Amino acid sequence: MIGDQFARLMQQQISAAPRLHNLQALFAADDKAVLLDFAGISNLYSTPAGTASATVGSPAGMHLDLSRGLELEPEIAPQGGLFPSATGWTTGAGTVVAGGVATTTAVAPGTTTVNCGNIGALGGLYKVIITIDSISGNLQPVLFGNVLATLISSPGTYTYYAAASAINCFIQAITTTTTAVCSKFSVQRIKGTPAFQGTTPNCPILRRTSVTGRYWLEADSDDALNLVFPSAPGTMYVGRATAEGFEWTTETWGTTVNTLRQGRYNAGVVARSRDWTAPEKALIEAYFARQLPMLSANLLANPGFADSSAWTPGGAEWTIGAGVAAKAASAGTLAITQSVGTIAELAVYGYDLVTRTAGNFSFSGAPSATVSTPGIAYRWVGAATAAAVGPRADAAGAGTVDNVSYRRIL
């Protein structure tokens, strides 16, 4: 019964949410803009080449920018991507353009068959369609610097999305005596700016919450999913969907920008070069509300340090008073903790670093960064590795913390 009520509630929230086209209407033609919605996993790919969709628990190497509605620019391959003649095409030895096709006959591995030339722009995202009428052997597309591991070995029409790290686009033979007939090699740029990462260890991981089924990206690198612009956008007005709500910031963007926050719940990003009005922000927040997870109550007692109850200091250098926990310099790293019981469950946790005069602070019992700037409410996403969690400081650490929280993501 409770499950049925929850399902109906979720459906009502999704039905009432603004549609994607409502957000796309907020972007003018001359805006520098981006819209990434990680709930739309059909637009999320495992590699920058866009040959396979990302799957939960695996790397996500590219996400399409939805701010322009995936609209295609005009064809940029020679002769509309077709072969009425050889004009504009560069072909390798053993490939001849005639009769509306490019025919490759018995060429050696590594031989270029058909080359569109230098037609791309770094950072652009392209839709590439290749039609092979017949083939013996294997062909390998090399699309704007993306050398595809999945080879073409049978006739058919193949569609790829490629984020450009180089500007040329071609097909090469990969096996001895490859013979093939190509009747189409179409290349069109997709309007907008994709976010991509070509180095697999740096890619974010696609996750899904266990109870509410919300998709999000976990970033362990400071360049997890990058936007690459032809020129620096400068001041951008940015909104991010996080586990604790929607955050608005004003940022200065260069030519390469990491869209994700390391150690955070990344559910979506929206940005443009004009400030947002209050009604526009409300529309965006309503759209992304379906991506925000449910959080448990704070599992820590006495989070505001009203007294010393519930907390276990790791040494005499941690003291509680005046509504904060204070850390003085010590012989080693010390934490002040309490137990959250079950470990290895995903949670949002952190504290306010109220003051800091020396050293570095972090979070004990769960993954976190080292922080040292006071006046900030620090939050991280991860799973506890120990039952006892709480603020931690190194030996030199001296400062005060408040409002400690540990809330499971549902």
pLDDT digits (tens, 9 = 90+) for 279-292: 999 999 999 988 88
pLDDT at 292: 84
105 shares its domain with 145: yes
208 shares its domain with 65: yes
- Structural domains in the chain (count): 3
pLDDT at 17: 54
| pLDDT top residue among 269 and 344 | 269
The CATH number given to whatever domain includes residue 366 is 2.60.120
Residue 60 within any structural domain of the chain: yes
The Cα diameter of the chain in Å comes to 86
Give the mean model confidence (pLDDT) for residues 212-222. 85
Is residue 338 a contact partner of residue 300, using CB atoms and an 8 Å limit?
Answer: yes
- What is the Rg, in whole angstroms, of the alpha carbon atoms belonging to the chain? 26
104 shares its domain with 47: no
| pLDDT top residue among 21 and 111 | 111
Within 10 angstroms of residue 282's Cβ, the number of other Cβ atoms is 12
pLDDT band at residue 9 using 50, 70 and 90 as cut-offs = very low
| pLDDT top residue among 335 and 14 | 335
323 shares its domain with 265: no
Q: Is the model's pLDDT at 228 over the cut of 70?
A: yes
Q: Answer with the one of 190, 208, 228 that is the final residue of a domain.
A: 190
137 shares its domain with 238: no
Using DSSP bridges, classify how beta strands 156-163 and 139-143 pair: parallel, antiparallel or unpaired: unpaired
DSSP state of 284: H
Task: Map tokens 């448990």 to a residue.
Answer: 296
318 shares its domain with 378: yes
Give the mean model confidence (pLDDT) for residues 94-101. 94
Q: Residue 368 phi/psi, 5° resolution?
A: -160, 165
pLDDT digits (tens, 9 = 90+) for 312-324: 999 999 999 999 9
Question: What value does the mean pLDDT of the chain take?
Answer: 88
pLDDT digits (tens, 9 = 90+) for 353-374: 999 999 999 999 999 989 999 9
Q: How far is CA 60 from the centre of its chain?
A: 7
Residue 284 within any structural domain of the chain: yes
Q: Which amino acid is present at 289?
A: A
pLDDT at 151: 92
Residue 185 within any structural domain of the chain: yes
Q: Is the model's pLDDT at 379 over the cut of 50?
A: yes
252 shares its domain with 339: no
319 shares its domain with 223: no
Residue 307 within any structural domain of the chain: no
Residue 287 within any structural domain of the chain: yes
What is the model's pTM?
0.73
Candidates 388, 390, 381, 377; CA nearest to 409 is: 381
Give the mean model confidence (pLDDT) for residues 22-45. 85
Separation of alpha carbons 190 and 322, rounded Å = 57
Q: Is the model's pLDDT at 294 over the cut of 70?
A: yes
287 shares its domain with 207: yes
Residue 305 within any structural domain of the chain: no
50 shares its domain with 80: no
Give the mean model confidence (pLDDT) for residues 242-266. 90
- Helix ranges restricted to H, 196-302: 278-288
Residue 304 within any structural domain of the chain: no
Is residue 229 a contact partner of residue 270, using CB atoms and an 8 Å limit?
Answer: no
Q: Which domain holds residue 108?
A: 72-190
Q: Is the model's pLDDT at 227 over the cut of 70?
A: yes
Q: Is the model's pLDDT at 12 over the cut of 60?
A: no
The CATH number given to whatever domain includes residue 106 is 2.60.120.260
Q: Answer with the one of 141, 162, 190 that is the final residue of a domain.
A: 190
Give the mean model confidence (pLDDT) for residues 98-121. 91
Candidates 336, 319, 327, 340; CA nearest to 387 is: 340
Q: Answer with the one of 242, 262, 291 that is the final residue of a domain.
A: 291
Can you tell me whether residue 141 is helix, strand or coil?
A: strand
Q: Is the model's pLDDT at 1 over the cut of 60?
A: no
Q: Is the model's pLDDT at 7 over the cut of 60?
A: no
DSSP letter string over 7-59? HHHHHHHHHHSPPHHHHHTT--TT--EEEEETT-GGGEESSTT--SB--TTSB
Separation of alpha carbons 182 and 135, rounded Å = 9
284 shares its domain with 341: no
Separation of alpha carbons 284 and 272, rounded Å = 12
Q: Is the model's pLDDT at 5 over the cut of 70?
A: no
Percentage above 70 pLDDT, the chain? 94
How many residues does the structure list for the chain? Answer: 410
Separation of alpha carbons 203 and 134, rounded Å = 36
Separation of alpha carbons 155 and 144, rounded Å = 23
pLDDT at 223: 67
pLDDT at 133: 97
63 shares its domain with 205: yes
Is residue 230 a contact partner of residue 193, using CB atoms and an 8 Å limit?
Answer: no
pLDDT at 361: 97
Separation of alpha carbons 153 and 163, rounded Å = 23
Residue 171 within any structural domain of the chain: yes
Out of 5-14, 69-78, 270-279, the most confident range is 270-279
Q: Is the model's pLDDT at 45 over the cut of 70?
A: yes
